[in-house]
Amino acid sequence: MFQGPAGWGEFSPFPNYTTHQDSLWLRAALESAFVPFDYPKDSTIGVNAIIGDNEDPYRASIRALEQFGCHTIKIKVGLDIANDVKQVDAIVQAFREAGKLNDLRIRLDANGRWSVSQALETLSELESAPVEYIEQPCQSLQELRELHKKTNIPIALDESIRVDGQSQISDFADLAIVKVSPLGGINAIEELIAKLDVPIRISGALESGVGLSASLLAAHTFAPTEVAGLGTGMLLATDLTGEPIVPHHGRISVDRYEPNKVKMIESGLSTDQQVLWEKRIARAWALIPVAVLASLGVTDQGMQG
């Protein structure tokens, strides 16, 4: 987390990211800190709820509906067909008992774990469920193309775009999942969206509320009427902003969320951790072209850690 003339930026890539992937996330963080974006007043974005890996899907669905007002539910699948079906059935049961089944939309995320046959078997078992789309069902483009021909359920792609750099995907997908922080920031995704030949959904990457701010603005800018995948604050026990940024009536305010200084002090890194993160940032910084840094107006003097 660091501060520039425009506000705060968050660098929080996952541990398994490559230095190249880190550099894109750092570019997004620098953009947030140095580029003064205009945030709209009194605007909100609809978001989906997310069921964590260790959560009971029935209870989590009731919580999403009653506490957060979310009618769109995202859940990870792909490890066990029987368990996947069981979890989706639990979500459907929760909404049916609440009298809200007609409002339910389910987003499945397989993270590329399925073969074509596994995908078809699972999706056939879920034929009666209100599945909005399946995200990254298979890993390879060949498998995705084959599956796309054999299922009527829309396919959304994440890793194929974010990791593999695909943009012309209409032959094997119906939607693109666009994540601001891992893809290099708002300006970078604007360039990507111009190349994509399918509609988009903006999604988050488990950032704190500080990092989530740019994604909310992106959703408002590029897909204002779509339900964004930005309800990740529901999975957090705490947040550098003070409290996790969670939906109310299924929506989150589009705003630039600032860190709480007390929370920053409480969550301070150990000396060893700080050294590791500084090295990681230095390696990532070295991969950002000088021209990109200049376009962002970035200077070492203008940034505070």
Calculate ∠ Cα 229-234-238, nearest 5°.
130
Whole-number Å distance between alpha carbons of 204 and 63: 20
Q: Which residue has the tokens 């959904």?
A: 201
- Token pair in block for residue 115: 């073969």
The CA-based diameter of the chain, rounded to the nearest angstrom, is: 58
Q: Is 76 a catalytic residue?
A: yes
Q: Could you give the C-alpha distances from 164 to 11, 157, 171, in angstroms and in order? A: 22, 11, 16
**152, 180 Cβ separation under 8 angstroms:** no
Q: DSSP assignment of 194-259, as one string?
A: HH-SS-EEEE--S--HHHHHHHHHHHHHH-TTSPBB--GGGG-S--TTSS----BTTEEE---PPP
Q: Could you give the C-alpha distances from 17 to 165, 194, 209, 246, 298, in angstroms and in order? A: 15, 26, 21, 26, 23
- Closest CA relative to residue 292, chosen from 5, 17, 21, 34: 34
- Given the residues 41, 86, 100, 179, the one annotated as active site: 179
- Given the residues 76, 86, 149, 195, the one annotated as active site: 76
With 0-12 / 13-18 / 19 or more C-beta atoms within 10 angstroms meaning exposed / middle / buried, residue 38 is exposed
Q: Show which residues are catalytic.
A: 76, 179
